[in-house]
Each structure stands twice: as C-alpha cells, then as structure tokens.
C-alpha cells in the first residue's frame, strides 16, 4: 500500500466533502442511534432504497429503548421489503444489549460497539469515527475500490487480508476531523469513483496523485476473485384466498427469511393439477385456479425461480393464519420474494 499517497487524502477530502456531499437524512446529526440505524440499513442496499425506510423507522422507533421493546411482528413490518431481515433482528438484539449493559446509552468505545449483534468492523468504525471523531476507518467495497485505484493495487479486494491492510494503512493517516474524513472516503468511493461505471477522474479531488489515473489502469481496478454461480431453486407458491382472506404461514425460526410470513409453497415446479393436489393435502378444497404468474427472486447465493398459483378455496381451513387484505397490508411482514405475488394479486 502506497502510504505516501494515502497521506495526501486528509489534505483534499474534507474540503471536497464539505462542498460536494449529498444531502442525506442520516447526515443531519451525529447522534449514534440514527447513524447506527443508517449504517445497518445501508448494508448491501442502495441509498435511494433506504431513504424512505430510514425516515419511517426512526419516526416509529426514535430511541434505543423504543427499538428494544418493539414487538417482533411490528419490527418486521417496518422492515418489510428492505431485505436481509437478520439485520432487523440483530438491531433489536443490540438495542436490548445496550439497555441491559449500558443503561440505554450507546457505547462510545470501539471494542464495545464491535461486540453488538450485527455490527462488524466497518459499522463499528463508521459509528465511532462519525459520532465520536475516533480514528477508526470504515472500510467497505467503495473504500477498497478507491484505494486500489489510488495506489494502482491489483490485489483482490475481497480478500480479508487486503481489507485488514487497507484499514491499518488508513488508520495511520487519519486527521482530527475523523468523522468528516470517514464520510468523505465513503462519498468519493460511492460517487466520483463509484461502482459499475467509469471513474470520473476529471472531477476527482485526488486526480493529481492517483496512480490509477496517471497509469491509465483505473478502469481495470479493483480486482476481485471469481464468484461462484448462484444455486438455482424452483418453487411453487400457492396464493390461497377465501372470502377476501388469504392463507399465510410463518417460516421456521432459523435459516433464510427466518420467522417471517410467507404464502404456502413447495419445492419444485408443479403443474396446475399438481398444485391442486398439493393444496388438498394441506386440508383445502380448491374451487378454481384464477391465474398463474412467474416470478424470481435473487438472494446473495441463491436464485428462486417461482411460479405462483392463485386459487379460490371453499373454506378457511388448513394449518394457516387467514388475513384480510387490510390486515395483511398493515400487519404481516412479507419478504419481497412473496410480497411480489401479493402485489400482483391486488393489481388484477
């Protein structure tokens, strides 16, 4: 890592950030609770998708204490559609831990923040630097891409050793205004030197000392190790309705989408006749199939290829919870994989 190049960053980034930063709702103050919430929501989720969720969540649960005491179903409803639901469960676990171990006051020490459920080195670094001006780098894909280009470093950025190396190198150059520096690194790596597009070197405050720009290698960097292909799984989803109510069931407490509501479903791609037989085995009498829809949902390592079979049934039987449309909309947290079939049923 070219330390002499990284030493240039504190000279140019804070002033650049003050002029060019985006106005985002979580940048309005430096209180740890909203900063923590925003960092968890932003994990693997686009900024534009988070804005509305962040504002609604903070209005509903404005304090650590409110989060710690929030019923699980309400918490999941607030998170509905944002994905990676373990983040919400860990938020509540961490809030309970803060109430029990720290008297409801968010901890200030990096080591204490790091042990909170759902918090890793990046999130702990972001909170402690932004809120407390601690020299704790928050190194994610954006920062790793930026430093790879600055230093013309071909080392794969998804290697843990490379992340540790970049973290240590940045910690050594942190200025007193640590919070502004952390956010400036994030901002530059997300915008001017952002992902999936050509770096905008003409607008970059680092163009005079960036090796990738000087050597013409910036567009080829960063390097990543080859990803494994996603596993493909076929599923048949049964959207069962009776007198304006819909059959839902809870997923198991462990594993993918743990503890969330879902429409009944079975593995494999069933014909219409096989879907009727499957519903009958669940204790239901099918009156008619109203339509069939094709959907898919992509997780990090798995892709669900989903066929939704919409059925009218004779009575609200079977081992299900039956929700009216209004109750389902207001109370049931349906993950996006299944919610897309619900939204489809309302648009017919």
> Of the candidates 220, 252, 272, which is a domain's last residue?
220
Q: Are residues 157 and 82 in the same domain?
A: yes
| Rounded CA separation 246/323 (Å) | 5
Confirm whether 225 is domain-assigned: no
| Whether residue 183 is found in the same domain as residue 287 | no
Interatomic CA distance for residues 124 and 148, integer angstroms? 22
Residues 213 and 251 in one domain: no
Whole-number pLDDT of residue 159 = 94
Last residue in a domain, options 190, 220, 250: 220
Asked if residue 276 belongs to a domain, the reply is yes
User: Among all chains, which residue has been given the structure tokens 């090796």?
Assistant: 211
Q: In the 8-state DSSP scheme, what is residue 233? A: E
Say whether 121 sits in a helix, a strand or coil. Answer: helix
Residue 34: CATH number of its domain: 1.10.340.30
Q: What is the mean pLDDT of residues 186-195?
A: 95
Shared domain for 13 and 41, answered yes or no, is yes
What CATH number is given to the structural domain containing 246?
Answer: 3.90.79.10
Is residue 216 located within the same domain as residue 244? no
Question: Would you say residue 226 lies in a domain?
Answer: no
Q: Which two tokens stand for residue 259?
A: 């503890």
Q: Which of 23, 31, 39, 48 is catalytic?
A: 39
* Six-digit token string for 315: 């009575």
Q: Write the CA distances from 197 to 122, 141, 145, 192, 301, integer angstroms.
A: 24, 14, 12, 10, 24
**Domain contains 147:** yes
Residues whose CB is less than 8 angstroms from the CB of residue 227 and which lie 6 or more positions away in sequence, other chains included: none
Please report the pLDDT score of residue 242 as a whole number: 96
pLDDT tens profile 4-58: 999 999 999 999 999 999 999 999 889 999 999 999 999 988 999 999 999 999 9
Does the pLDDT of residue 295 top 90, yes or no?
A: yes
Kindly state whether residue 196 falls inside one of the protein's structural domains. Answer: yes
pLDDT exceeds 50 at position 286: yes
Query: Residue 168 above 90 pLDDT?
Result: yes
What pLDDT score was predicted for residue 214? Answer: 94
Same domain (yes/no): 249, 202: no
pLDDT tens column, 235-252: 999 999 999 999 999 999
Residue corresponding to tokens 């109510």 = 245
Mean pLDDT rounded to a whole number for the chain: 94
Same domain, 197 and 304: no
What the block records as the tokens of 220 is 């080829």
166 inside domain: yes
Give the model's pLDDT for residue 348: 46
The confidence band for 326, taking pLDDT boundaries of 50, 70 and 90, is very high
177 belongs to a structural domain:
yes
Q: What pLDDT, on a 0 to 100 scale, did the predictor assign at position 344?
A: 59
What's the pLDDT score for residue 345? 63
Please count the structural domains in the chain. 2
Residues 214 and 243 in one domain: no
pLDDT at 29 (0 to 100): 82
Phi and psi based region of residue 339 (left: phi greater than 0; alpha: psi -120 to 50; beta: remaining): alpha
**Domain region containing 144:** 3-220
Report pLDDT for 346: 62
* Residues 150, 278 share a domain: no
48: annotated active-site residue: no
Instruction: Please determine, for residue 253, whether its predicted confidence score (pLDDT) is greater than 90.
Output: no
Confidence category of residue 205, pLDDT binned at 50, 70, 90: very high
| Residues 289 and 319 both lie in one domain | yes
Residue with token string 């339509």: 291
Do 322 and 204 sit in the same domain of this protein? no
- Between CA 193 and CA 147 the distance in angstroms is 10
Three-state secondary structure call for residue 79: helix
pLDDT given at position 3? 86
* 28 lies in the same domain as 174: yes
């Amino acid at each position: 890592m070219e330390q002499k190049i990284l030493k240039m960053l504190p000279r140019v980034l804070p002033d650049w950030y003050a002029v060019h930063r985006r106005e985002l709702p979580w940048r309005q103050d430096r209180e740890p609770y909203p900063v923590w919430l925003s960092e968890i929501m932003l994990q693997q989720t686009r900024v534009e998708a988070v804005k509305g969720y962040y504002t609604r969540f903070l209005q509903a649960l404005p304090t650590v204490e409110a989060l710690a005491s929030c019923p699980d179903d309400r918490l999941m409803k607030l998170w509905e559609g944002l994905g990676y639901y373990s983040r919400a469960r860990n938020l509540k676990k961490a809030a309970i831990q803060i109430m029990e171990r720290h008297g409801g006051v968010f901890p200030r020490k990096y080591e204490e923040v790091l042990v909170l459920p759902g918090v890793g080195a990046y999130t702990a670094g972001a909170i402690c630097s932004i809120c407390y001006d601690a020299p704790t780098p928050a190194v994610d894909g954006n920062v790793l891409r930026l430093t790879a280009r600055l230093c013309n470093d071909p080392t794969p950025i998804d290697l843990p050793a490379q992340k540790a190396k970049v973290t240590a190198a940045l910690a050594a150059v942190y200025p007193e205004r640590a919070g502004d520096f952390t956010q400036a690194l994030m901002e530059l790596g997300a915008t001017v030197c952002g992902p999936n597009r050509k770096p905008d070197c003409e607008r970059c405050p680092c163009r005079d000392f960036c090796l990738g720009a000087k050597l013409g290698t910036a567009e080829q960097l960063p390097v990543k190790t080859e990803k494994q292909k996603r596993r493909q799984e076929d599923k048949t989803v049964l959207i069962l309705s009776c007198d304006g109510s819909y059959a839902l069931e809870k997923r198991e407490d462990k594993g993918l989408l743990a503890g969330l509501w879902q429409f009944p479903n079975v593995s494999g791609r069933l014909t219409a006749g096989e879907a009727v037989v499957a519903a009958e085995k669940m204790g239901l009498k099918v009156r008619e199939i109203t339509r069939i829809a094709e959907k898919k949902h992509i997780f990090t390592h798995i892709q669900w290829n989903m066929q939704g079979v919409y059925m009218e049934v004779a009575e609200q039987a079977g081992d299900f919870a039956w929700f009216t449309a209004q109750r389902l909309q207001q109370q049931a947290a349906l993950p996006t994989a299944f919610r897309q079939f619900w939204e489809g049923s309302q648009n017919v």
